[in-house]
Structure 1
Amino acid sequence: MVKAVIFDLDGTLLDRDASLREFLQDQYARIPQLQSISRSVYMERFIALDQRGNVWKDHVYRQLIEEFGFELQWETLLADYWDGFRLHSQPFPNAERMLEELRARSLRIGLISNGYGEFQMANFLALGFSALFDEVMISEWEGLRKPDAAIFKRMLDKLGVQAHEAIYVGDHPVSDVAGSRAAGMKGIWKYDPLLEEPEAHDGVLRDLGDLVGMLDEFKRG
């Protein structure tokens, strides 16, 4: 019997790609020094250097300044990113409705995200549905990172459930799916067309609105 559902943040609940594009458009419009090149060139080069969030932004901004000769300090751009990204945080479709349905079923709900605590928490809160969560864990504050089984087990303890009673939903094949399954949970892959499907998983979720139906299938099966 499923008693808890735990989520990843970026690429799972938070549409990071769309959020980043909206932030970059705003940053370009607000900072005149960036406008020495076209907006499209600025955005696409940032996105390429960012590697979908796998490169921290101090390196990204340093490289942009070196390549394009912006008369700016990288610290200024990084501070703007740190403060401003949350203002453009966008959830995937049906996220809030799905969470409300889980809550209506009295399921425990958690979040485990790799990343910097203050930054990730600000982005999570900006989505507007944090009150539906029982526990939130971010790797910097926990001193653990996915796919380490210890961070999943710590969340299970906080929620008061056993591993076989919990499902984890995330987009990363290793950090999310393989990591949660190694901790004894069911691992659901939040589909991402740019990532390879995990070799082993307990389901593929293309739309967050379909999650409750998947839980019903687990119950029947």
Structure 2
Amino acid sequence: MKAVLFDLDGTLLNRDASVHAFIENQYDRLNNGLKHIPKETYCSRFIELDKRGYVWKDRVYKQLLTDFDLSALQWEDMLEDYISEFKHHCVPFNGLIEMLKELKSMKLPVGMITNGYGQFQMDNIEALGIKEFFDVIVVSEWEGMKKPSQEIFHSALERMNVASAESVFVGDHPDNDVYAAQQAGMKAIWKKDSEWDQVDADFIVKDLSEIPKIFYSLMKEAATSKSILHTE
């Protein structure tokens, strides 16, 4: 294996924790227009409508205005608040920086493929303090295509000048990350997510710290195979 690529949300960014932190803070900041709603009610409804990021927030805020009769607020202003403020609440998964440092110390090219809006995702990447570790970052809006399309994987691999068979993709979604990467010819590591019980991945990890260990094992296996071939 000569390269590793990552998903962002749910893999490197703890999106569930980030959303909780953001929406509670938004309730506090916009309290004049929201105080007639219990905080827990507002936050839980936002999270329900958000569907773990698969519904863009214009639809979420429009529905919130309907649900709670938020006559003092405009959905456009609430959406703008989300876009400008979410990055201040980004929560990384444990061991994120240490894991990336270790992969870079192994001289591995590191890439990212993430669905989402370009600048919004880049702001979150910057907020996590990880941009410098990536040789290539591909965001679906700017690419004009998104996972699970095989083309977006091939586009990233081409920029990294590495073959799909020599690459590993790490993600949390069984279809958009694991299966899609495998269909693109890559190995896939599933980062466990409580939403799914079992995923047919090449490797399964619970913590980011396990990922460098997989690469050490793969490199050792490759070196052993090469040694055997030379001996023969």
Smaller-chain TM-score bracket: over 0.9
Q: Normalized against structure 2, the TM-score is what?
A: 0.92
Q: What residue in structure 1 maps to residue 207 of structure 2?
A: 207
Q: Deviations 1:27-69 (Å, cap 9, x if unpaired)?
A: 0111121121111111101101111111111111111111111
Q: Is the Cα–Cα contact under 8 Å of residues 134 and 159 in structure 1 kept in the other structure?
A: yes
Counterpart of 1:144 in 2: which secondary structure?
A: coil
Q: What residue in structure 1 maps to residue 52 of structure 2?
A: 52
- Specify the code of the residue in structure 2 equivalent to 1:9: L
User: How far has the Cα of 1:124 moved from its partner?
Assistant: 1.1
1:24 aligns with 2:56: no
Q: Normalized against structure 1, the TM-score is what?
A: 0.96
94-103 or 208-217, which deviates more: 208-217
1:219 aligns with 2:219: yes
User: How far has the Cα of 1:196 moved from its partner?
Assistant: 4.0
Q: What residue in structure 2 maps to residue 90 of structure 1?
A: 91
Q: What residue in structure 1 maps to residue 141 of structure 2?
A: 140
Q: What residue in structure 2 maps to residue 106 of structure 1?
A: 107
| Identical residues among aligned pairs (%) | 45
Q: What residue in structure 1 maps to residue 229 of structure 2?
A: none
Q: What residue in structure 2 maps to residue 72 of structure 1?
A: 73
Q: What residue in structure 2 maps to residue 43 of structure 1?
A: 43
User: How far has the Cα of 1:195 moved from its partner?
Assistant: 2.4
Q: Is the Cα–Cα contact under 8 Å of residues 164 and 185 in structure 1 kept in the other structure?
A: yes
2: CA distance, partners of 1:171 / 1:197: 11
Counterpart of 1:111 in 2: which secondary structure?
A: strand
1: CA distance, partners of 2:93 / 2:80: 26
1: CA distance, partners of 2:37 / 2:196: 31
- 1:142-181 aligned at under 5 Å gives the runs 142-181=143-182
User: How far has the Cα of 1:116 moved from its partner?
Assistant: 0.8
RMSD over equivalenced CA pairs, Å: 1.0
- Specify the code of the residue in structure 2 equivalent to 1:207: D
Q: Is the Cα–Cα contact under 8 Å of residues 173 and 196 in structure 1 kept in the other structure?
A: no
Q: Deviations 1:99-135 (Å, cap 9, x if unpaired)?
A: 0000001000000001111111111111001101101
5+ residue gaps, structure 2, are 222-232
Over 2 Å off, 4+ runs: 195-198, 216-221
Aligned residue pairs total: 219
5+ residue gaps, structure 1, are none
Q: What residue in structure 1 maps to residue 7 of structure 2?
A: 8
User: How far has the Cα of 1:218 moved from its partner?
Assistant: 2.6
2: CA distance, partners of 1:125 / 1:134: 14
User: How far has the Cα of 1:220 moved from its partner?
Assistant: 4.1
Counterpart of 2:52 in 1: which secondary structure?
A: coil
